Amino acid sequence: MHLLAIVNNKGGVGKTTSAVNLGAAFAEIGQATLLVDLDPAASASVHLGLDKSRGEHQTLCDYLLSEKRRLADYIYPTTFDNLWCVPSEPALSEFYEEMMQEEDMDFFLHQKDFPNKFDIVIMDSPPNMGNLAYNALAIAQHVLIPVQTQYLAMTGLELTLNTVNKVQRHLNPKLNILGFFGTHYDRRTNVAKEVLQKLREKFGTMVFDTVIGINSKLIEAYGAQKPILSYASSARGAREYRALAREVLQRLGQK
């Protein structure tokens, strides 16, 4: 089982879009994939049709409040074959903080909690390096970092890398940065090209060849509560996430 955390301290860079669509791309090629939504904003859950306001399912918050804490009870199938999700909800942040203080615990999710039928577990994280992101990094084997190819992309990245570094030193020495990838790439603008070039100068081959371009079908797919791979299977965004998934699997195979 591979455990991947998608992190970037900066908001709106494409973490959730990548978690959902990479997850679907893994699932499509036969990898049983579990997306764990560690963001109280619950965007990945909503993207996959698991919207708490409909009240038809339980979330990580219920898991936290339960006595048995059996994660398997909180794993839901999605409309996409081979892709499952542990949903989140807004109350997660406050409950998590409370429980941590009351029970004097560090983390509420551990690798052993994931049923071993899964080939890949992807954790989506919030746009801050708080305790929920720490939990993802503490148990992950690999980190994927989406970088929005726009101004200030590199500034936000520094804080993210400092946090990953801190986790590697103190909590999870085996944590490995699997790679960076450009998102929201607008081929018509110079800034997109410049940011990508800077990223490649700084991180070399750690930057994936695949770049995720701006694609409105990705936004529509979110609205339709489906991965782009089923919403608009031949759209550019779908093809790019498939290509990224192949690259990620290739790197995982080399580890």
Ligand X SMILES: Nc1ncnc2c1ncn2[C@@H]1O[C@H](COP(=O)(O)OP(=O)(O)OP(=O)(O)O)[C@@H](O)[C@H]1O
Q: Token match 């746009």: residue?
A: 127
Single out the segment in contact with ligand X by CB under 6 A; choices: 14-22, 66-74, 166-174, 191-199: 14-22
Q: Does residue 159 belong to the site contacting ligand X (CB under 6 A)? A: no
CB 38 within 8 A of CB 132: yes
Which residues face 185 on adjacent strands? Answer: 213
Give ∠ CA 97-101-105 in degrees, rounded to 5: 95
Cβ(107)–Cβ(67) below 8 Å = no
Query: Is 153 one of the binding residues for ligand X (CB under 6 A)?
Result: no
Would you call 213 helix, strand, or coil by DSSP? strand
Q: Give the whole-angstrom CA distance, residue 42 versus residue 151.
A: 26
* 15-34 residues near ligand X, rule: CB under 6 A: 15-17
Nearer to ligand X, 214 or 243 (CB): 214
30 binds, among Mg ion, ligand X, none (CB under 5 to 8 A by kind): none
Contact residues for Mg ion (CB under 5 A)? 15-16, 43
Regarding 39 and contact with ligand X (CB under 6 A), the answer is yes
How many residues are recorded in the chain? 255
* Residue 218 contacts ligand X per CB under 6 A: yes
Question: DSSP alpha helices (H): ranges in 122-187?
Answer: 131-139, 153-170
Site string for ligand X, 117-146 (x = CB under 6 A): ----------x-------------------
Chain residues in the site for ligand X (CB under 6 A) = 11-17, 39, 41, 43, 127, 183-184, 212, 214-215, 218-219, 222
